[in-house]
Amino acid sequence: MKLINYTEKWVWEVLEEVLAEHPDVCCCEQCRYDMAALALNNLKPNYVISKHGQVYTKTKMLLQQNKTDVLTEVLKAVGKIHKNPHHLE
């Protein structure tokens, strides 16, 4: 059995989508990790149990509702890092 933090999975997914739509935002490794960490610190973790690569469907469906919160936090994080990037010029 394995524990998967669904919030983390979503943050990376949503972050990729947001960055694809905003080519002006830096998407270097440093910025992407800063954005993901920032968003994840403001979100609740959603751990699910994975057994043989299968995640319990019931839990998964329930968690879909939180995806909107993920988008909100990712957008906030992207805006913040875009204004104050931590990467070296």
Contact residues: Zn ion, CB under 5 A: 26, 28, 31, 85, 87
Considering the complex, state which of residue 11 and residue 31 has its C-beta at the smaller distance from Zn ion.
31
**How many angstroms separate the CA atoms of 89 and 44, rounded?**
33
Considering the complex, state which of residue 31 and residue 77 has its C-beta at the smaller distance from Zn ion.
31
**How many angstroms separate the CA atoms of 42 and 88, rounded?**
25
CB of residue 88 vs Zn ion: minimum separation in angstroms?
9
CB of residue 34 vs Zn ion: minimum separation in angstroms?
8
Considering the complex, state which of residue 28 and residue 49 has its C-beta at the smaller distance from Zn ion.
28
Q: Which two tokens stand for residue 72?
A: 């909100």
Considering the complex, state which of residue 79 and residue 85 has its C-beta at the smaller distance from Zn ion.
85
Q: How far is CA 24 from CA 14, 15, 79, 84, 89, in A?
A: 17, 14, 11, 14, 15
Count, residues in the chain: 89
Q: Which two tokens stand for residue 77?
A: 């994080």
CB of residue 2 vs Zn ion: minimum separation in angstroms?
32
CB of residue 31 vs Zn ion: minimum separation in angstroms?
3
